[in-house]
């Protein structure tokens, strides 16, 4: 798209922010680079925050169709489209899935839970109909293709829903008990529930804020990976995140305390047995 059309878009943007404001919210530092023209899509992307408090309000007609169209517009490895999604709106089912996923209340509160699947069963069924023995199905690589396909699709849905004024939060805890989730959703073998996504209108009385991230100098490498430049950026980020969390009424725990998540096998909340779960879902992971 031309610069002209981007400009036009900027003029059309109703009361949109600016790159400087979005950058400051995302990094807690001043923007010191010369950046492209701001546009509505960048505004949507950079304003992302996870929403865990939802209004009791249904989604407008056509929302789900729109999110799925956005999701399917994401790239798919060799166009194999090795993902599916289950839309759960039933109150009882959401409640049961909530229990399986660490008892997170927002799974019950959101009007829609999308469970994103790495789905190798669809192409497997095609192979069976064509009398092909799909040997490639059984490799770890093929599972990764499904996981990546599902993640790209889901993220497009997130951007789409935020452009519509909705909010969402990913539920990684759907992997706490993959077999039980698979049973609840009647998944065939060779389908892994990768993560959930709660979707709904944010409760403005309990607003979520943009969370600061690591400085770009820590995650972006030029030409080759450089481990040595990371420490100062991480030290700075510890301060920025602590300050942010205190402002939010949360603990001032520095980011580096995130290592607690990896301290023991138990800190994985059951996901230490993902390999066993995958085996029981039919994945050989050669």
Among residues 17, 29, 45, 109, which is the contact residue for its own copies, using CB under 8 A?
Answer: 45
User: Which DSSP string corresponds to 93-157?
Assistant: HHHHHHHHTTT-HHHHHSSEEEEEEEE-HHHHHHHHHTT---GGGGSHHHHHHHHHHHHHHHHHH
Nearer to its own copies, 80 or 109 (CB): 80
Report the site for its own copies in 141-200 (rule: CB under 8 A). Answer: 141-142, 144-145, 147-148, 151-152, 154-156, 158-160, 162-165, 169-170, 172, 175, 184-188, 191, 194-195
Are 178 and 211 in contact, with CB atoms under 8 Å apart? no
Q: Do the beta carbons of residue 6 and residue 37 sit within 8 Å?
A: yes
Binding-residue pattern over the window 19 to 38 for its own copies, x denoting contact by CB under 8 A? ---xx--xx-----xxxx--
Q: Does residue 56 touch its own copies according to CB under 8 A?
A: no
Q: Does 78 bind its own copies (CB under 8 A)?
A: yes
Q: Measured from the CB of residue 83, what is the shortest distance to its own copies in angstroms? A: 7
- Do the beta carbons of residue 153 and residue 85 sit within 8 Å? yes
Q: Quick one: CA torsion of 46, 50, 51, 52, rounded to 10 degrees?
A: -170
Q: Which of 82, 62, 67 is nearest to 154 (CA)?
A: 67
Q: Does 243 bind its own copies (CB under 8 A)?
A: no
Among 52, 53, 54, 70, binds its own copies (CB under 8 A): 70
Binding-residue pattern over the window 86 to 125 for its own copies, x denoting contact by CB under 8 A:
xxxxx--x-----------------------x-x-xxx-x
Q: Is 90 exposed, middle or buried (0-12, 13-18, 19+ CB in 10 A)?
A: exposed
CB of 64: closest distance to its own copies in angstroms? 7
Q: Which C-beta is closer to its own copies: that of 60 or that of 105?
A: 60
Give the shortest CB-216-to-its own copies separation in angstroms. Answer: 5
The alpha carbon of 203 is separated from its chain's Cα centroid by a whole number of angstroms, namely 20
Minimum Å gap between C-beta 56 and its own copies is: 18
Q: What angle do CA 227, 231, 235 make, to 5 degrees?
A: 155
Binding of its own copies by 236 (CB under 8 A): no
Beta bridge partners of 168: 199
């Amino acid at each position: 798209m031309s610069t002209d059309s981007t400009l036009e878009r900027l003029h059309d943007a109703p009361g949109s922010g600016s790159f400087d404001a979005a950058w400051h919210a995302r990094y807690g530092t001043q923007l010191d680079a010369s950046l492209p023209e701001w546009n509505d899509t960048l505004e949507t992307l950079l304003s992302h925050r996870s929403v865990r408090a939802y209004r009791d309000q249904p989604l407008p007609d056509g929302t789900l169709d729109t999110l799925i169209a956005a999701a399917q517009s994401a790239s798919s490895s060799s166009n194999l489209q090795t993902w599916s999604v289950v839309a759960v709106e039933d109150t009882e089912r959401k409640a049961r899935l909530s229990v399986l996923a660490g008892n997170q209340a927002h799974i019950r509160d959101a009007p829609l839970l999308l469970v994103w699947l790495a789905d190798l069963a669809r192409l497997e069924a095609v192979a069976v109909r064509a009398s092909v023995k799909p040997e490639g199905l059984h490799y770890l690589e093929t599972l990764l293709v499904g996981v990546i396909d599902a993640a790209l699709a889901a993220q497009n849905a997130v951007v789409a829903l935020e452009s519509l004024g909705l909010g969402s939060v990913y539920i990684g805890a759907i992997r706490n008990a993959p077999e039980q989730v698979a049973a609840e959703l009647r998944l065939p073998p060779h389908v892994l529930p990768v993560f959930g996504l709660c979707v709904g209108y944010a409760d403005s009385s309990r607003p979520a804020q943009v969370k600061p991230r690591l400085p770009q100098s820590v995650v972006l490498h030029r030409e080759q990976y450089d481990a040595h430049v990371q420490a100062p950026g991480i030290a700075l980020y510890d301060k920025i995140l602590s300050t942010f969390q205190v402002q939010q009424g949360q603990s001032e725990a520095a980011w580096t305390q995130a290592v607690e998540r990896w301290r023991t096998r138990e800190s994985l909340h059951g996901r230490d047995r993902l390999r066993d779960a995958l085996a029981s879902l039919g994945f050989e992971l050669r």
